[in-house]
Amino acid sequence: MPAKNLPHTPHFADRQADLSKYLQRILTARVYDVAIETELMPARNLSKRLGNQVLLKREDTQPVFSFKLRGAYNKMAHLSAERLQRGVICASAGNHAQGVALSAKRMGCKALIVMPTTTPKLKIDAVKALGGEVVLHGESYSDAHEHALTLEKSEGMTFVHPFDDPDVIAGQGTIAMEILRQHQGPIDAIFVAIGGGGLISGVAAYVKAVRPEIKIIGVQTVDSDAMARSVQVGKRIELSEVGLFSDGTAVKKVGEETFRLTRQFVDEFILVDTDAVCAAIKDVFQETRSILEPAGALGVAAAKQYVQTHGVKGQTLVAITCGANMNFDRLRFAAERAELGEEREALFAVTIPEERGSFKRFCELLGPRSVTEFNYRISDTQQAHVFVGLSTANRDEPAKIARNLERAGFPTLDLSGDELALSHLRHLVGGRSELAKEERLYRFIFPERPGALMKFLSSMHPDWNISLFHYRNQGADYGRILVGIQVPKDDKKAFKEFLQTLAYPCVDETDNPAYRLFLR
């Protein structure tokens, strides 16, 4: 979505005046009393994979783990002693709140922070630890903002805007100043996450004043794209709802000043989805052993999408990793979706005949591919429906796998992009079955290596039917698998011998009350 082809071309003199004004503000900004100059770090593995030099501007390493400290402190440093004495108030999803709280603590003034009720507990606790007083209100930044403005008047405090303020914008612009000083060679594009627009406004204003040939590319999630839509139509629009996964950029309406600057100085917008953000979080972890919050990973996700879309090679791309205030509980979801975001996992619903040997034949068709997930429960006398996840090497492989299974007589549905399947159905395959007679339930521990599943199936007696199977790769050396096997009473001795020869640790769960409640 190229911004330069969109409506509105500012007068050249006005554009130059803006660049001159913000260049002076940024060069004289006061941020280093509390902020640090962060590293511009080569992402070597990602660079090699993408065929371009990727540099990470590590704003996630700031004292409050995000860039917001810069703008907050610069704004407060320009307040009079009288206004500081009355205290400051802000609205924030968390990172700006921590910046204001730390700045207030350094300056010895009171800070009242209004945060959406959806804010991760990690960020709320961090603000309180810095001495900020927290008020929770509304479900988005916009809701919290309106409440903060009401409190500003009643309490006589000074509102520190998280993005729509020239001093805040200038503080964030010092990031661009550092980037150009740290890498004086060619830079083709800088990827910047957008919530309300303060970060990209400051970065774009400085870069276009000093190195106008560098592309500034704004990044938003597909469900929180207020800035991209506003620039597209030439006026600020307000979203009725915003996605909350990337809570740091969940803004319904962008700032007036940030919109004006973004229209002038941002070259292009890229929208990324949740899976791409999760994959970017994983990429940065593999490079740095640091875990970004979703908003902090937007720039990396966009850089990858840019390379894929435009097919560029040998360019220098900078992604600002703008925050690392990640709730630990979200890691489970991020890890689950990262492989899909990288298109390294495909999910399928496969229908196979409910007859002896068909399960094994199906597994043989999968070949040496790594199985990431397997869910099955006997439910019909004629057909079996299997939910299976497979590791893939590229985006074309899922279609090829589906065709091969179809040719073998197994109707196949690719579920890789189905949100219902990704979020819910994968966890709901199963339930009680009248057909699961004489079923024994066992938990096995399998070594995570190719061939382990086939070894198990090859060892099975042909008269023992698998009635339930659940497996999910957790990234460990050993996988945990739940198997239901229909064993006739007369075969109990033979089955016991089978378990001993298999040499896989197992636990009999047939009498487990949870199994009897939900699966029998």
pLDDT in tens, 345-380: 888 999 988 887 788 888 888 877 778 888 888 888
Tokens read off for 342: 């990288």
Report yes or no on whether pTM surpasses 0.85: no
User: What are the backbone dihedrals phi and psi of residue 181, each rounded to the nearest 5 degrees, phi first?
Assistant: -75, -35
Mean pLDDT of 433-445: 86
Tokens read off for 30: 């006061």
Query: Would you state the pLDDT for residue 478?
Result: 67
Mean pLDDT of 82-94: 90
Q: Is residue 342 pLDDT above 80, yes or no? A: no
- As a whole number of angstroms, the distance between CA 513 and CA 517 comes to 6
Query: Would you state the pLDDT for residue 482?
Result: 86
Local structure of residue 47 (DSSP, 8 states): H
CA neighbor of 463 nearest in space, from 437, 441, 491: 491
- As a whole number of angstroms, the distance between CA 219 and CA 256 comes to 18
CA neighbor of 439 nearest in space, from 359, 500, 520: 520
123 or 231, which is more confident?
231
Q: pLDDT per residue over 375-410, tens digit each? A: 888 888 888 888 888 888 777 888 889 999 999 899
Mean pLDDT of 298-306: 98
Q: Is residue 496 pLDDT above 60, yes or no? A: yes
- As a whole number of angstroms, the distance between CA 291 and CA 187 comes to 26
Query: Would you state the pLDDT for residue 337?
Result: 82
- As a whole number of angstroms, the distance between CA 133 and CA 111 comes to 6
For tokens 């945990």, the residue is 480
Query: Would you state the pLDDT for residue 425?
Result: 72
